[in-house]
Structure 1
């Protein structure tokens, strides 16, 4: 992707000139992703999807917010693993609030928040609601997780011959591994991948989290069958859907 779409590669006059166009705020986490994926997986995926989207909607991509809300045991493995650095909810809210507020102050009125960490969403929405109230709704803000717009037909193709465990348990499993193989294969260690059934979803959460609550390797579902081809299917479906959403919501 050319530097002309990356805010951190722009000069301030270049960024000022972009204010009539959409701007995308990627948010991820710093969280273990099993034996084979990097700790920064969520931020990498949020950024890569945002960059693809920016090409489609003539947008600008901000640097990713790389710290997210506390990892839950059955969607991210919980606080049991070195490298998972969690933020309190108020921190996530305040960080997103301040970024959005500054963008609006700079004249941006078409904003997309691209989330890649399951636990972030409620705090993102709280920040968006606060900013919208405080600024009188001058900006249209679209919030989405990369997985939400992916249609069932694409999920069926991705999991053809495989078992889809549900989005919460798809942590370091087929979808994230496939997306990383598509976007950043050099960061994926397929030789370290643990192929086993993974965690089973509980109907409750119990604290303190204990060793043994989730698989010791950190993954929550079996990543066997992951491929760059499956990752491209997911990425293309997400970008297509969000581009259509932006065209509708931003009137373009």
Structure 2
């Protein structure tokens, strides 16, 4: 992606000139992702998907919000692992609220929030709702998780010969590992990948979280079979679908 699409590489007059175009706010987390993926996986994926989307919709990408809401045991491994730095819900709400408010004050009316951390969404939506009420709905704000727009046909293709455990348990597993192999292979340690069955889904959450509630290596499902090609399929499907959503919602 050209640096002219990154807000943090622009001067303020350059940023002012693009206010009629879509602007994308990536948000991830700082959270353990097993033995083979970096702590910044969610932030990396939010950023790279947002950059690809910006190329498709002639948009601008804001600096990524790299801290997210508390990691849940059976979607992110919980609070037991060094490197997981969690924010309280009100912190996530306030940070997103303030970023969106400033964008709208600067005249931006086409905003995409690209989320890559399962636990963030309710707090993102709360921030969007508050800002929409406060500003009278002058901006159209589209919020999505990178996985939500991916068609089932693509999921079936990605998991051909593999078992899809459901999105909550796809933590440091096939989809995230494959996306990282596609976007940032230099950060992936395939030689450290633990090929085990992973966690068992439960219908409840128990606190305090205990050692043994999640696999000791941090992953929640088996990442075996991950590949850059599978990552490319996911990325292209996501970006293509969100680009279509933006065309519809922004009237372009």
CA distance in 1, matches of 2:190, 2:6: 30
Give the CA deviation at 1:121: 0.1
Residues 8-56 of structure 1, C-alpha deviation per residue, up to 9 Å, x if partnerless?
A: 0001100000100000000000000000000000000000000000000
Give the CA deviation at 1:127: 0.1
Give the CA deviation at 1:118: 0.1
Residues 76-114 of structure 1, C-alpha deviation per residue, up to 9 Å, x if partnerless?
A: 000000000000000000000000000000000000000
Structure 1's consecutive aligned runs of 4 or more residues displaced over 2 angstroms after TM superposition are: none
CA distance in 2, matches of 1:12, 1:229: 38
Give the CA deviation at 1:138: 0.2
- Map 1:200-211; keep pairs closer than 5 Å: 200-211=200-211
Give the CA deviation at 1:63: 0.6
Aligned partner of 1:50 in structure 2 is 50
Q: Which runs of 5+ in 2 are unaligned?
A: none
CA distance in 1, matches of 2:203, 2:146: 25
- SS state at 2:69 partner: coil
Give the CA deviation at 1:217: 0.1
- Map 1:84-163; keep pairs closer than 5 Å: 84-163=84-163
CA distance in 2, matches of 1:3, 1:16: 16
Give the CA deviation at 1:64: 0.4
- Map 1:222-233; keep pairs closer than 5 Å: 222-233=222-233
- TM-score by structure 1 length? 1.00
Residues 181-225 of structure 1, C-alpha deviation per residue, up to 9 Å, x if partnerless?
A: 000000000000000000000110000000000000000000000
Aligned length: 252
Give the CA deviation at 1:171: 0.1
Residues 156-192 of structure 1, C-alpha deviation per residue, up to 9 Å, x if partnerless?
A: 0000000000000000000000000000000000000
CA distance in 2, matches of 1:245, 1:19: 19
CA distance in 1, matches of 2:197, 2:65: 32
- TM-score by structure 2 length? 1.00
Give the CA deviation at 1:152: 0.2
- SS state at 2:68 partner: coil
